[in-house]
Chains A and B, each alone.
Chain A
């Protein structure tokens, strides 16, 4: 019984890991609307960013999901420094109630 349940556990885990590709295969249907960024009024970094979007959605998407967590960590670290400077104990918490 225990062995069977263990086997079931690993099977479900495998299925879960494969689920996104299975659901992608099941989904789809209809071509998505493609929006093109208008770069005429933009310059500098903004123009580069919009051009990157127009040229490659893959590169644009990969760069976006790299930039977001990195920015989050940087801003979080800065806020940490400020709060530590104020004098807040950021490492421990008394256990309150449940």
Chain B
């Protein structure tokens, strides 16, 4: 079975290459569907396959750039990418990310980086999960209220509408974002991207996990445009990240390329699936992913208090992350196949 293993030229480790393809497919589907890079899934996955942590992060970023580019191109054709918004946000993201990274260095100096970062992560994920399900509950309440009056709720009505309050702030220059259908102060996306970039810099992640809900709830993007625009951001910041990590010699291009084979298919499946799954379906699935991710981090956090369960908790956290990736990608794939079948059936009927 030697042919199933490949020697990585830079890291110098033997890697089970079908594992890379499977990981690429799974993360490609989830990333293309939710508009995330998926670092929280890939880095532990690569680490489990045998990569040292520094190489796992670098390789993840490199593959993320290519995969997100594929998804962005697909979403762009559906009109899901607001390039103007993406470019405005890119500026805030870069500066926010650097401020966050400098803060991590400061926390490192005072010796509490690990603890602070993990607790911020948990608090943030809990907040995002609450926000998503609060939004879903509010929309359902609106639906019920409309049904009681014998009316049907408009498809574009949302539960949480914080963005409407933020849009009232009219500090020039004002911008019209065509694809997102928003007219707001340019400072709003800059502020939001700075905030999400800063958090991403502190947490050491690409930021899709934070930026996607921020684009929906703070900037006011429709779900599909939030997914596409976020992927555009991930692709560009991923390339920048890939350059810095590769220059430091922590990227394994061979592994990234193998993952891209799987991710190319997965990213297309994920992006096309957004055609068939409604906006709120995407939000609910995203909320479930956030809960799973939060639980896996919590399992790592409680280990100092229960050292006797350390190994069990480690295994549980890994199983939870990988199980979540598999189940979620399977769900998206099944829904996509069902959608395609329906589309082909309609085409045949109309022909």
A residues touching B (Cβ–Cβ < 8 Å)?
2, 5-6, 9, 12-13, 15-17, 19-20, 23, 26-27, 32, 34-35, 37-39, 41-42, 46-47, 49-50, 53, 57-58, 60-61, 64-65, 67-69, 71-73, 75-76, 78-80, 83, 86-98
In the complex, the answer to whether B65 meets A49 with C-beta atoms within 8 Å is no
Contacts of A94 in B (CB 8 A): 275
In the complex, the answer to whether A35 meets B249 with C-beta atoms within 8 Å is yes
In the complex, the answer to whether A72 meets B268 with C-beta atoms within 8 Å is no
> Nearest residue in A to B55 (C-beta to C-beta)?
A35
Interface residues in B, total, Cβ within 8 A:
68
Contact A6-B173, Cβ < 8 Å, known A75-B261, A93-B275, A98-B222: yes
In the complex, the answer to whether B224 meets A23 with C-beta atoms within 8 Å is no
Contact A96-B10, Cβ < 8 Å, known A64-B246, A73-B73, A87-B344: no
Contacts of B275 in A (CB 8 A): 93-94
Interface of A is mostly: helix
In the complex, the answer to whether A90 meets B77 with C-beta atoms within 8 Å is yes
Chain B 46-76 interface mask (CB, 8 Å, partner A; 1/0): 0000000000000000110111011001100
Q: Which of B33-41, B97-105, B290-298 contacts A (4 or more CB under 8 A)?
A: B97-105
In the complex, the answer to whether A83 meets B9 with C-beta atoms within 8 Å is no
Contact A97-B340, Cβ < 8 Å, known A19-B95, A60-B246, A76-B70: no
One of B98, B248, B347 near A20 (C-beta < 8 A):
B98
In the complex, the answer to whether A69 meets B224 with C-beta atoms within 8 Å is no
Contacts of A35 in B (CB 8 A): 10, 249-250
Q: From residue A73, how far is it (CB to closest CB) to chain B in Å?
A: 7
In the complex, the answer to whether B155 meets A93 with C-beta atoms within 8 Å is no
> Nearest residue in B to A38 (C-beta to C-beta)?
B12
Among B4-24, those with CB < 8 Å from A are: 7, 9-10, 12
Contact A68-B256, Cβ < 8 Å, known A15-B95, A23-B102, A93-B275: yes
Question: How far is B256's CA from A25's CA once the two chains are assembled, in angstroms?
Answer: 30
